[in-house]
Structure 1
């Protein structure tokens, strides 16, 4: 099965646009390609593909059309790994026979598929070489559209072409220290489904195996709680509900306790950025107590500091080496 391995960051559009030249310089990127990507996602009226954690789209890039199917896969510490199949087609119309080549969910009728939402954005892309690892940099700025509803889209994706997955965190760290960003476990497809039908947003769900070594158990707990923090961050972005900040602060406190305790079990597992926990927990408390920050401004306010993104990325790097 072909696999896509990538790390995703969210950023405010105005922050990205004002800092883009300096970012490209910091990443030693001399040449970029700009393109407009128009993506139509398909599903049944009852969202059967989404229930099976599968996304099916046709992308228009220039004069080409590419039909793509992606599986849910897994996300650990911000790094997504999922199955991916691509085929070039003649127009913006599904070719059902191609789907026989991939893992198609049982019971889903191809004849019932219909367009459900679009993601349309400008992509600025290039390649980065780091110590034998090749990474594709993709900066996407645009909108998700479903019926009369729209949601802004501003992301930075880092995809491994070949080499060491750990190098993704090296590049992400450079970005996070240039301007505020946050790791994201949510795909464009998931955001599109959520915009189309709020009922698919769901609750937090994470499974891990408690069997095996104590070290593996502790790592699983840290990964689970990091995922929960990122989940809450995304929920604030979607719901604009300030009340979620209390839950987010509590989640960070638990995550801090888990991470700090690791050094008492194994000194080599000490996390060298512990101070960022206190800074981010205090900042969330300040935002929560600021009556001048309403629900409409809450996400932009949360994403206005570098500490949270740097903390999330360094946790991902630490877990990758755990």
Structure 2
């Protein structure tokens, strides 16, 4: 299959930048910037917990959680989703641009009696009606798959696909892991529905920003701690109490010197890496971010400010003509499927 598109670099991986006109129709995103690993073995839970902040032990079968690889300085080496499957292995999705350091870290920890495997490719779908489109190719009832749960299924005749109810856009979504031999067939079946539109990383980046979600390498990196990025919720309660995750001694008592906030402005767009004098050093925004719906031609961005400036309604000076104001995130309401 050939679909012309502009190409951009995403953490060293070539990605389509094509942008769809809205978030409403069902979209299909190819995700070459993501990688999958399946640690298996008797001690796989402790294996993962030795590297991340999440609580794998508390997960029920086929439930997943967003978590973080933290480093010795308290920063984030990567963000990832870990799912505890009922098939005797964990299902891990992380950034391909961080694959070398992630895999090296995991191989160092394989003394727990675990091994890694990966034989699939990854794509993401989103949009309010995407579940109905997918359901036409399934024998299983997709309505039973709620947010952050996962299942193995046969999709349009392709066996061994893993479906996960989650997404990176703030909308209902299903992440689809497909055996490499079946990727073309599944893609062709989905695109045969006239409602489904292809979307590149430009669209995905715009939608995740509207939802107030972080992009690794852009809003968070090895120098950003979970506290600063308002991602403290990713640290499991048991892990906090036990103080046993990597760099817990740095992260837990950390004074909130910086905090990730949402910014809105009626002036020119605040571009990526725009300085905020005296209170921060980085802004994350998308290009051309004047929005007609709900925002009334407002521009929006995410950035880091000193804690005293993080209160909603605080005007922030940046190097553009009008001051943006700190606002609550997400910018757009999220619509995740909870089974109701």
TM-score of the aligned structures, taking structure 1 as reference length: 0.29
What is the TM-score when the length of structure 2 is the normalising length?
0.28
- Structure in which a larger fraction of residues adopt helix: 1
